[in-house]
Amino acid sequence: MEKINLKDYAENFVDIYNDIQETFPKAVLHQAFICKFSSNEYIVRFDEDIQYLFLLLDGRAKIYIVHENGKRALIQFLKKDDFIGELSLIEVEKNLKDVVAINNCTCLAVPLASSKKHLLNDNRFLHNLSKYLGDKLLKRTDHYT
């Protein structure tokens, strides 16, 4: 994983940075940075604590659930503007999943430990997250029916 300062990234991708500012509180963006992941690199591992809330800015990834017997099952493909770690942020997911980059991925990384309180008390962020989770639920329902 390559880390890039958010301000350096914003100079080249003003439109994306403006969208990020609409989603996240300013107090959180001061702590955030850009991560670049190579193809087939793990973004999140099921057996490690999640430390960041990621927003996929570019690239594609896939989510695998890891069963007790060690087998993995693909449950979702991720694309631009998908969150990674949002269920951990709101404390509904106890068992993490593997998230693997399909191709080169660029993510906004927001440290959960220092940002959680700000995120969970920001109405605009919670509204956007609620819409995202509702859309995710509908897509998974359609996929499994």
Report the distance separating Cα 94 and Cα 84, nearest Å: 14
pLDDT score of 109 more than 90: yes
> So what's the pLDDT on residue 11?
64
> So what's the pLDDT on residue 42?
97
pLDDT tens figures, 44-61: 999 999 999 999 999 999
pLDDT score of 83 more than 90: yes
Helices and strands (H and E) in the chain: how many = 6, 9
> So what's the pLDDT on residue 108?
95
pLDDT band at residue 96 under the 50/70/90 scheme: confident
Q: Provide the 3-class DSSP secondary structure of residue 13.
A: coil
Q: Is the pTM of this model over 0.85?
A: yes
Contact 81, 2 (CB under 8 A): no
In this structure, how many other beta carbons lie within 10 angstroms of the beta carbon of residue 77? 13
Report the distance separating Cα 116 and Cα 99, nearest Å: 21
Contact 43, 37 (CB under 8 A): yes
Q: Which domains does the chain have, with CATH numbers?
A: 2-144 (2.60.120.10)
Contact 32, 5 (CB under 8 A): no
Q: Which amino acid is residue 128, in one-letter code?
A: N
